[in-house]
């Protein structure tokens, strides 16, 4: 099966490219090979004897022995699409990472760190300067004072923070509630941990949380609720009322919250609110974030989690065996980045707002139904005016006939049907690229 590695060594390796669907290959090999083993033992006729020089070889190469936890992994449509995209020279507004680079002052800091010899293992839970910088930033953003040594842990990107949270705090059989559409690693990691997943769907046009449905889904049996705000792929931001309802459900039923806030600095139309700052919530919340989106350095893999000590402990255990420690020079650079003045963030927002305007106007002019996106660098649109059966066929057409890549969103739902009229575009690209893509769509897309 084709994998992400292409002949082009600079082809992107973003997570969206690597969703995996359980193929029959995985199902068939994930069972234990007890029958083969029994055969091997009985034919040897020498159970318990020293094997030296008396090996009875199995009759054929051993079937692959992979763990059951891979059964729910979804296969990628995106691998095929990215191949298609390159073949057709399509402009890529699908991948969720910038085609421009991070700020010089942060890159310089990393270069300095390398030259100064900061190239050996960092302390497992983070370089002290970075832990402090994270705590300071968290205080500025939420008003909460946290202990950098006991409540902040640095990880290889927010992806690892999510993995460590789930593997450190979720037991097999635990019930976890997700909001669909959801970032793909949540479901895969939850199934790795053996969790029972329930999802509540956010629907267009405003992707508001269906509060009554949420109240009926969340029970005393629920262990955790996962939130992503600002939200990928919809651009929705959880508002105060929604967060208060979630908070009261959590307090009433003693539930944890895992919140992924990597786009918090790309909050355009609303104020970003961290649920940890609501009364009674800090003690039951893991707040995750990363450097990559805010500083356009997605490949550096610097992420973190802020959580009270009793939750941090489990998180750190999982983290210590997943990666042990995080890239040292980048951590030093991150501590410099997080102390950036307010002007950096203001300029970031201004730049992204300009890009968003280009994309949104262009998508509307091309004929899409464009849903308002309050945050992130994503916009969700309805493609049905163009008459395609589903999001995947539309995206294939968009690549091959129009020369633009978007992401089909059905893979972000437990029930793919719910996403079939929606696709996601990103505007984390330079303006030239955005304008070129918009032109192609205006010229070549025809309503049916």
Partner 1 sequence: MEAKLSKASRALNASPIQEISHLAQRCGAINLAEGFPDFPAPPHVKHAAVAAIAADLNQYRHVQGICDLLAVKMKQNHVLDFDPLTDFVICCGQSEAFAATILATIDQGDEVLIFDPAYETYESCIILAGGIPVYVPLDPPYWTLNVDKFMRSFTGRTKAVVLNSYSPHNPTGKVFSKEELEVIAAACCQMDCLAITDEVYEYITFDTHKHLSIASLPMMKERTIITSSLSKTFSVTGWRIGWACAPTAIASAIRNIHIKVTDSAPAPFQEAALAALQSPPEYFSSLKADYVAKRNFLIKMLSEVGFQVHNKPQGSVFIFAELPKTCLLSDIDFVKELIEKAGVAAVPGRGFFHGDCNDQTQQSRYVRFAFCKSNDTLSAADQKMRSCVGK
Q: Which of residues 236-265 bind partner 1 (CB under 8 A)?
A: 256
Among 259, 287, 289, 327, binds partner 1 (CB under 8 A): 327
Q: State the Cα–Cα distance between residues 422 and 440, nearest whole angstrom.
A: 20
344 touches partner 1 by CB under 8 A: no
Least Å distance between CB 48 and partner 1? 7
CB under 8 A: which stretch of 78-86, 130-138, 155-163, 413-421 binds partner 1? 155-163
182 touches partner 1 by CB under 8 A: no
Q: State the Cα–Cα distance between residues 190 and 211, nearest whole angstrom.
A: 23
Torsion of CA 180, 185, 190, 194, to 10 degrees: 130
36 touches partner 1 by CB under 8 A: yes
395-434 positions binding partner 1, by CB under 8 A = none
Q: What 8-state DSSP symbol labels residue 233?
A: T
198-237 positions binding partner 1, by CB under 8 A = none
Least Å distance between CB 365 and partner 1? 29
Residue (of 205, 203, 214, 201) closest to 241 by Cα position: 214
Among 284, 355, 383, 440, binds partner 1 (CB under 8 A): 284
Among 92, 131, 189, 433, binds partner 1 (CB under 8 A): 189
Least Å distance between CB 140 and partner 1? 25
Nearer to partner 1, 314 or 367 (CB): 314
Ramachandran sector of residue 74 (left: φ over 0; alpha: ψ -120 to 50; beta: rest): beta
Among 94, 102, 230, 408, binds partner 1 (CB under 8 A): 102
Half-sphere exposure (Cβ direction) of 177: Cα atoms closer than 13 Å: 24
Q: Which residue's entry shows tokens 């310089």? A: 108
Look at residue 446 and give its three-state secondary structure: coil
Among 299, 350, 400, 447, binds partner 1 (CB under 8 A): 299
Least Å distance between CB 111 and partner 1? 5
73-92 positions binding partner 1, by CB under 8 A = 73
Q: What 8-state DSSP symbol labels residue 266?
A: -
Least Å distance between CB 383 and partner 1? 26
386 touches partner 1 by CB under 8 A: no
- Examine residue 181 and say whether the peptide bond preceding it is cis (omega within 30 degrees of 0): yes
- Chain-centroid distance of CA 399 in Å reads 24
Least Å distance between CB 278 and partner 1? 17
160 touches partner 1 by CB under 8 A: yes
Among 90, 193, 202, 406, binds partner 1 (CB under 8 A): 193
Nearer to partner 1, 250 or 381 (CB): 250
Ramachandran sector of residue 129 (left: φ over 0; alpha: ψ -120 to 50; beta: rest): alpha
Residue (of 267, 224, 247) closest to 356 by Cα position: 267
Nearer to partner 1, 153 or 326 (CB): 326
CB under 8 A: which stretch of 108-116, 142-150, 208-216, 230-238 binds partner 1? 108-116
Residue (of 430, 445, 439) closest to 362 by Cα position: 439
Residue (of 376, 385, 370, 391) closest to 426 by Cα position: 376
Give residues with Cβ within 8 angstroms of 189, minimum separation 6. Answer: 162, 163, 166, 167
Nearer to partner 1, 73 or 207 (CB): 73
111-150 positions binding partner 1, by CB under 8 A = 111, 114-115, 117-122
DSSP conformation letters of 27-47 = HHHSS--HHHHHHHHHHH--T
């Amino acid at each position: 099966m084709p994998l992400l590695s292409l002949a082009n060594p600079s082809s992107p390796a973003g997570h969206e490219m690597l969703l995996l669907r359980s193929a029959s290959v995985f199902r068939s090999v994930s069972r234990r090979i007890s029958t083969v083993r029994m055969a091997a033992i009985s034919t040897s006729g020498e159970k318990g004897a020293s094997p030296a020089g008396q090996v009875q070889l199995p009759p054929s190469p051993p079937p692959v022995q992979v763990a059951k936890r891979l059964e729910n992994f979804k296969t990628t449509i995106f691998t095929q699409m990215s191949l298609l995209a390159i073949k057709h020279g399509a402009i890529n507004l699908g991948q969720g990472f910038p085609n421009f680079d991070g700020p010089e002052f942060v890159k310089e800091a990393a270069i300095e760190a390398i030259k100064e010899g900061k190239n050996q293992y960092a302390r497992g839970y983070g370089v002290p300067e970075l832990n402090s910088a994270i705590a300071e930033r968290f205080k500025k953003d939420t008003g909460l004072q946290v202990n950098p040594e006991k409540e902040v842990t640095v990880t290889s990107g927010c992806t690892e923070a999510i993995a460590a949270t789930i593997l450190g705090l979720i037991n097999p059989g635990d019930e976890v509630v997700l909001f669909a559409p959801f970032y793909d690693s949540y479901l895969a990691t939850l199934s790795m941990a053996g969790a029972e997943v329930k999802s509540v769907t956010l629907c267009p046009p405003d992707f508001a949380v269906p509060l009554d449905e949420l109240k009926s889904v969340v029970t005393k049996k629920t262990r955790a609720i996962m939130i992503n705000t600002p939200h990928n792929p919809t651009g929705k931001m959880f508002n105060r009322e929604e967060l208060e309802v979630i908070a009261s459900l959590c307090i009433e039923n003693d539930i944890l919250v895992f919140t992924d806030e990597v786009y918090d600095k790309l909050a355009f139309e609303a104020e970003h609110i961290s649920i940890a700052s609501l009364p009674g919530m800090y003690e039951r919340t893991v707040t995750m974030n990363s450097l990559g989106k805010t500083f356009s350095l997605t490949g550096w893999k610097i992420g973190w989690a802020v959580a009270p000590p009793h939750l941090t402990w489990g998180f750190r255990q999982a983290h210590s065996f997943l990666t042990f420690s995080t890239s040292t020079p980048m951590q030093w650079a991150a501590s410099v980045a997080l102390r950036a003045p307010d002007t950096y963030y203001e300029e970031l927002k201004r730049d992204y707002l300009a890009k968003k305007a280009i994309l949104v106007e262009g998508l509307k002019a091309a004929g899409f139904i464009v849903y308002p996106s309050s945050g992130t660098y994503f916009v969700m649109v309805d493609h049905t005016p163009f008459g395609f059966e589903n999001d995947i066929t539309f995206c294939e057409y968009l690549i091959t006939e129009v020369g633009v890549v978007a992401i089909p969103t059905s893979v972000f739902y437990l029930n793919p049907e719910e996403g079939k009229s929606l696709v996601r575009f990103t505007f984390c690209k330079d303006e030239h690229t955005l304008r070129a893509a918009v032109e192609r769509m205006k010229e070549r897309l025809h309503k049916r």
